Amino acid sequence: MAVPPLVRQGYAGRGRAASGSEGAMNGEVKRVGVVLFDDTDLLDSVGPVRVFHSAACQLQRIGAASEPLYAIDLLSRFGGIVKSSIGFGLETKPLRELDVGDYDTLLVSGGGVDDANCDPEVVAWLRRNHDKVRRLGSTCTGAFVLAAAGLLDGRRAATHWAYCDLLQASFPEIDVDRDSIFVEDRGLWTSAGVTSGMDMALAMIEEDHGRDLALLVARMMVIFLKRPGGQSQFSTPLKSQSVEGPMAPLLHWIAENPAADLRTAILSERAHMSLRNFYRSFEEATGTSPAEWVEEVRMQVAKRLLEHTVYHIDQIALKAGFMTYERMRRAFARRMGVSPAAYRARFTRPSRSADLALLAGAIGTSEPILPTMQ
């Protein structure tokens, strides 16, 4: 079985074009190092390791290599046993004893990075050694460590959806991508976290050895080579945002009446404002346009109905205010990269009691859903 050169089809890559030719099939062993911290998340660290290990095994199995072409080391500041967030210990090598130039790829794992983020030794080590490896990346909150070293300045970067706001606020020089499963920007990789580190590792396999091998590894591990949609589909339902002033009553009314006529002209009349003044006041209060706010409210209603009820999708489109399935489908595709049907298949939790509770909660609730616009 021949492994063809790479045809790159990454999620969010830009900058450097990947050729997949450097050392891909010439028998060169690529050493991968994963930097861990106490309380590391196992999937953030072991997930990508498992992908690289599987690729090495498959290269041997198909006769493309006589020995594993990926060698993986777990690393930490002091070496020894690093305890994971669930209590399992992982044996690591100390950073101070490494010849970083021996490594092709270096990943900073997520979980347990609070201390590392403030540890000048770890940050300085990364700053000092980052250009000695061909490929540098992070999983989940490992992005904070790279950011503390100044390595993400002026770049797009991903982290777990729950930490996007914190990463952006802490490091405003970074362009935080809130939806991508992973991002590659000019040779520096960051992933959204947990299982998305495996997606990123698969893309690295594809960069090194081509799509055929990456697809084979994905099939053997029973995971997507390219999963549908971004990480926004996994975030928790958006809840009330504190909005004070004259817009607050209107925003609650919008949330309570998603199926009403919510065109901007109608809303400006309800607010007793001229259209021009309404646009300005609305954006000052919410940080977004009336149309974007309304669509996000309707998205939250539709998502809850898809998750918890057995309503037909056309009914959900009506109840959420989209009026037609096609309009709802376009909104889902634009905002989450998946169709309503695919979202329901992934997240549905139908039950009789949930139907009743959701119907009360999504339509006419005393605590309406107000979106947090980013």
Q: What are the residue numbers of the active site? A: 140
- Strand bridging mode 135-138 / 105-108: parallel
d(C-alpha 154, C-alpha 111), whole Å:
24
Phi and psi, residue 192, nearest 5°: -70, -20
**In this structure, what are the phi and psi dihedrals at residue 272, rounded to the nearest 5 degrees?**
60, 45
Q: Smallest Cα–Cα separation from 197: which of 123, 143, 274, 124?
A: 143
SS3 (DSSP) at 220 = helix
The burial class, CB within 10 Å (0-12 / 13-18 / 19+), for 166 is: middle
Specify the DSSP class assigned to residue 62: T
Q: Comparing C-alpha atoms, which of 185, 104, 101 is closest to residue 143?
A: 185
How far is it, in rounded angstroms, from Cα 225 to Cα 199? Answer: 7
Name the E strands within 150-234: 156-157, 175-176, 182-185, 188-191
Contact by Cβ (8 Å): 250, 262? no
The residue among 98, 107, 90, 96 whose CA lies nearest residue 40 is 90
For 320-329, the CB contacts below 8 A with 24+ separation are 320/258, 320/259, 320/362, 321/258, 321/259, 321/260, 321/262, 321/294, 321/297, 322/298, 328/298, 328/302
Phi (first) and psi of residue 105, to 5 degrees: -130, 135
240-246-250 Cα angle (round to 5): 55
